[in-house]
């Protein structure tokens, strides 16, 4: 169908930007996801095919078009600036894989 | 008697309970038995049969006194994306291992307020990212439908695949679901059920595990349109805990059903009729047009010129928002933790172990398009195209009241058939994703069978907050389609 054809067309066209393995490593670092070196080539391929697909948008003329910031046009309601909740330390830490005396436990961050 | 009870619709069961012809204890008991006997479908991640029987008992006490809410004593399945107080909530992800929320999502709280009974938590694609329910850490859900003369296992659609399979297999009266790019409507189409995604803001997102916050919206999957109207009436409503939920009264959706659609203007977007569309999908669509015309509707040709940019727009906006929303899974506050030599190592190891390949892919795409130097080229551009897509709908609605389209480009496909190609999988949402980008309500109604004997759905799209007209049209479509087919119950042991 047309979408499939469009994707294929786009994949053959070459693109403005293409991610290499170093970029994939950098993205993984930013996303805080450990990626092994042997996973990099496949990941780069997958990310590139998705990026090529979305770069179709370059052909749309968006000059002077406001970016959508809200799906539905409504004015956000204001609420009174008061405390509505609190004293939930026990509930908040109940699901922590490691906690002690109502605090989260993490590896030492300050030497 | 027991098996007959699961044949009732939500409305039928409600009326039988009110008339004291049955008890919630009997009804819920029948569903607990059906649920436990259908584990091979993998529709439920967590069964809460004991809790269901307790809730049924409380409902029976109310019903005996002539009291009770709109859903009193009716057993439902809950997509595992909704936080349920005291019950494991996983979002289909390994990273939420052992997470038991100390709070209840607003939508499910509304259902319990109205007397509904919880049977358990339904499987879904990991963090609702998928179109086939194959990305769940808890394994794929099996569609109760099979192709004619075949026992190949098919997908139930996604991401709400547990919801669609459970409703189709009669493992709950109705189910909650969520829809970010088609995750209610596409699985409904694949399983011969009804699924409605209401207008963005109609249901509170509070307590629903976030995927893409500007697109996510809750809605029900049900046996028929009336049941969808009843469920939506309970689920919807303003919630001060969700700043994007909209403060307007919830209409009586059920009252909209059965009203004439004479003079209703039904738009047919020409961009949805495409080269290479399977002939049976095209024929189904044409039949749908004829049915609505025969019911008195006026058919109008409309144009949505930016339709082909909807999927590329979605695959920038949704991953961008997901990369931000999923930053919270850090191995410190809840869920899975993999120890590391320092805090960063702990984060990276936990997230590598906890997220599946599709979720990792979307987080990385989102991280990339939001990273320094690329924001304008990708995210800003996508949000501009999104404005154009919404404008297309606004222009079309100057000429019509609802739109009619196919729900999905095919019937349910085989498990494993599309997992190797992410883009081929994304194309399943081509007819549904536009609706999320524009924030509109949409509903899928089962309308016929494929040559293989699998259900096919038609989608109606409505105007913002006009779910009443949408449901009225959907009811007329359902009456005309007379879809009565059911899957054979091959899954019971």
Cβ of B334 within 8 Å of Cβ of A95? The answer is: yes
Tokens representing residue B405 in the block: 């389209």
Interface A–B counts its CB contacts (< 8 A) at 195
Whether residue A44 is contained in a domain is answered as yes
Say what the pLDDT of residue A17 is: 58
- Annotated catalytic residue B57: no
Nearest CB to B364 within list A3, A16, A27: A27
Residue A4 clears pLDDT 70, i.e. is over it: no
Contact state of B342 with A108 under an 8 Å Cβ cutoff:
yes
In a domain, A107, yes or no: no
Instruction: Judge whether B79 counts as a catalytic residue.
Output: yes
The dihedrals phi and psi of B271, each to the nearest 5 degrees, come to -70, -15
Tell if the pTM clears 0.80, that is, is over it. yes
Catalytic, out of B59, B93, B105, B159: B159
- Say if residues B264 and B469 touch (Cβ distance below 8 Å): yes
Nearest CB neighbour to A95, from listed B100, B313, B368: B100
Contact B464, B470 (CB under 8 A): no
Residue B289 CB: number of other CB atoms within 10 A? 16
The answer to whether A3 contacts chain B (CB < 8 Å) is yes
Whether A2 contacts chain B with CB within 8 A: yes
Angle at B250 between CA B244 and CA B254, to 5 degrees: 135
Which residues of chain B neighbour A58 with C-beta distances below 8 Å? 381
Coil, strand or helix at A100: strand
What is the predicted pLDDT for the residue at B370?
97
B 332-391 near A (Cβ less than 8 A): 332-337, 339-349, 351-352, 355, 360-361, 363-365, 367-369, 371, 374, 377-378, 380-388, 390
Backbone angles phi, psi at B137, to 5 degrees: -60, -25
Torsion sign over Cα B415, B417, B422, B425: negative
Residue in B364, B421, B467 to test binding to A, most A beta-carbons within 10 Å: B364
Nearest to B383 among A47, A51, A68 (CB): A68
DSSP track, B363-402: HHHHHHHHSTTTHIIIIIHHHHHHHHHHHHHHHHTTT-SE
Domains recognised in chain B with CATH numbers: 1-493 (3.90.1300.10)
Nearest CA-CA distance, residue A20 and chain B, Å: 12
B303 is catalytic: no
State pLDDT tens for residues B68-77. Answer: 999 999 999 9
A13-63 residue pLDDT tens: 444 458 999 999 999 999 999 999 999 999 999 999 999 999 999 999 999
pLDDT > 70: what percent of chain A? 85
With CA atoms as reference, report the closest residue to B190 among B476, B418, B479, B350: B418
B102: contact with A, CB 8 A cutoff: yes
- Kindly list the distances between the CA atom of residue B68 and the CA atoms of B33, B55, B104, B118, B182, in Å, as whole numbers in the listed order: 25, 12, 21, 16, 34
Q: How far is A57 from chain B (nearest CA, A)?
A: 7
B406 has a chain A CB within 8 A of its CB: no
Q: Is B394 on the interface with A (CB under 8 A)?
A: no
Q: Is A89 on the interface with B (CB under 8 A)?
A: no
Spell out, as residue ranges, where chain B has pLDDT lower than 70: 1-3, 493
C-alpha–C-alpha distance, residues B275 and A5, integer Å: 10
Asked if residue A29 belongs to a domain, the reply is yes
DSSP H helical segments within B270-331, as ranges?
Answer: 279-294, 310-325
Token digits of residue B257: 């059903």
- Could you say which residues from 123 to 182 on chain B have a Cβ atom under 8 Å away from some Cβ of chain A? none
DSSP strand pairing (B194-197 vs B442-449): antiparallel
Distance (Å) from the alpha carbon of B280 to chain A's nearest alpha carbon: 14
Residue A36 lies in a domain: yes
Nearest Cα neighbor of B184 from B161, B168, B166, B152 is B161
* B239 touches B204 (CB < 8 A): yes
> Strand ranges (DSSP E) for B223-350?
265-269, 298-302
**At residue A5, does pLDDT exceed 80?**
no
- High-pLDDT (> 90) share of chain A, %: 68
CB-based contact, A32 to chain B, within 8 Å = yes
Please indicate, yes or no, if residue A85 is contained in any of the structural domains: no
Give the residue from B212, B199, B251, B210 showing the smallest Cα distance to B229. Answer: B251
Yes or no, beta carbons of B427 and A3 under 8 Å apart: yes
Q: Given this model, what pLDDT does residue A12 score? A: 43
> Which range of residues forms the domain containing residue A46?
2-59
E strands along B378-473, which residues?
402-406, 442-449, 455-461
Residue B284 contacts residue B456 (beta carbons within 8 Å): yes
d(CA B316, CA B365): 8
- Residue A87 CA to residue A68 CA, distance in Å, equals 38
What is each CA distance from B331 to B94, B151, B210, in whole angstroms?
Answer: 11, 41, 17
- Any domain includes A95: no
CA–CA separation, B424 vs A3, rounded Å? Answer: 10
Q: Name the domain count of chain A.
A: 1
Q: Is B54 on the interface with A (CB under 8 A)?
A: no
CB contacts under 8 A, B 300-339 vs A, are 306, 308-309, 311-313, 315-316, 323, 327, 330-337, 339
Q: List phi, psi (to 5°) of A47.
A: -65, -40
Write the ipTM: 0.93
Does A70 contact B at CB distance below 8 Å? yes
Distance CA B7, CA B269 (A): 37
């Amino acid at each position: 169908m047309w979408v499939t054809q469009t994707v294929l067309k786009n994949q053959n066209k070459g693109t403005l930007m293409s991610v290499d393995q170093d970029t994939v490593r950098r993205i993984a670092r930013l996303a805080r996801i450990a990626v092994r070196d042997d996973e990099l080539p496949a990941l780069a391929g997958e990310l590139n095919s998705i990026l090529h697909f979305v770069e179709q948008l370059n052909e749309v003329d968006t000059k002077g078009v406001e970016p959508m910031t809200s799906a539905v046009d409504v004015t956000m309601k204001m609420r009174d600036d008061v405390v509505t909740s609190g004293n939930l330390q026990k509930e908040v830490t109940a699901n922590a894989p490691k906690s002690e005396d109502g605090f989260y436990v993490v590896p030492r961050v300050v030497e | 008697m027991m098996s007959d009870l699961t044949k009732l619709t939500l409305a039928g069961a409600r009326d039988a309970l009110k008339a004291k012809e049955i008890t919630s204890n009997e009804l819920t008991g029948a569903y607990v038995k059906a649920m436990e006997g259908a584990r091979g479908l993998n529709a439920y991640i967590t069964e809460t049969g004991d809790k269901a029987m307790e809730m049924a008992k409380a409902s029976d006490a109310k019903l005996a006194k002539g009291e009770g809410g709109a859903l009193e004593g009716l057993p439902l399945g809950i997509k595992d994306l909704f936080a349920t107080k005291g019950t494991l909530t996983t979002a289909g992800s390994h990273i939420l291992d052992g997470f038991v929320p100390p709070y209840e999502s607003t939508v499910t709280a509304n259902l319990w307020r109205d007397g509904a009974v919880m049977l358990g938590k339904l499987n879904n694609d990991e963090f609702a990212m998928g179109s086939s329910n194959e990305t769940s850490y808890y394994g794929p859900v099996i569609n109760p439908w099979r192709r004619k003369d075949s026992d190949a296992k098919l997908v139930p659609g996604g991401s709400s695949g547990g919801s669609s399979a459970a409703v189709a297999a009669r493992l709950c009266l109705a189910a909650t679901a969520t829809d970010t790019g088609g995750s209610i409507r596409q699985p409904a189409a694949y399983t011969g059920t009804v699924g409605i995604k209401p207008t963005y803001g109609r249901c509170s997102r509070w307590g629903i595990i976030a995927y893409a916050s500007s697109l996510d919206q809750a809605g029900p999957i049900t046996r028929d349109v009336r049941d969808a109207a009843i469920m939506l009436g309970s689920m919807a409503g303003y919630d001060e805990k969700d700043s994007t939920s909209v403060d307007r009264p919830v209409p009586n959706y059920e009252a909209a059903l059965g009203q004439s659609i004479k003079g209703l203007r039904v738009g047919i977007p020409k961009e949805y009729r495409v080269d290479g569309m399977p002939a049976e999908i095209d024929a189904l669509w044409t039949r749908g047009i004829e049915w609505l015309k025969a019911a008195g509707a006026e058919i109008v040709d409309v144009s949505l010129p930016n339709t082909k940019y909807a999927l590329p727009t979605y695959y920038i906006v949704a991953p961008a928002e997901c990369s931000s929303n999923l930053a919270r899974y850090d191995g410190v506050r809840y869920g899975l933790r993999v120890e590391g030599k320092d805090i960063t190592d702990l984060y990276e190891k936990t997230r590598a172990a906890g997220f599946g390949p599709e979720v990792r892919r979307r987080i990385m795409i989102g991280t990339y398009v939001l990273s320094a130097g690329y924001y304008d080229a990708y995210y800003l551009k996508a949000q501009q195209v999104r404005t154009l897509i919404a404008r297309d709908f606004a222009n079309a609605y100057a000429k019509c009241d609802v739109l009619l389209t196919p729900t999905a480009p095919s019937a349910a496909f085989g498990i494993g058939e599309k997992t190797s190609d992410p883009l081929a999988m994304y194309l399943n949402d081509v007819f549904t994703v536009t609706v999320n980008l524009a924030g509109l309500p949409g509903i899928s109604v089962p309308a016929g069978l494929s040559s293989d004997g699998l259900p096919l759905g038609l989608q109606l799209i409505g105007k913002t907050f006009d779910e009443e007209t949408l449901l009225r049209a959907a009811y007329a479509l359902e009456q005309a389609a007379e879809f009565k087919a059911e899957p054979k119950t091959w899954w019971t042991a």
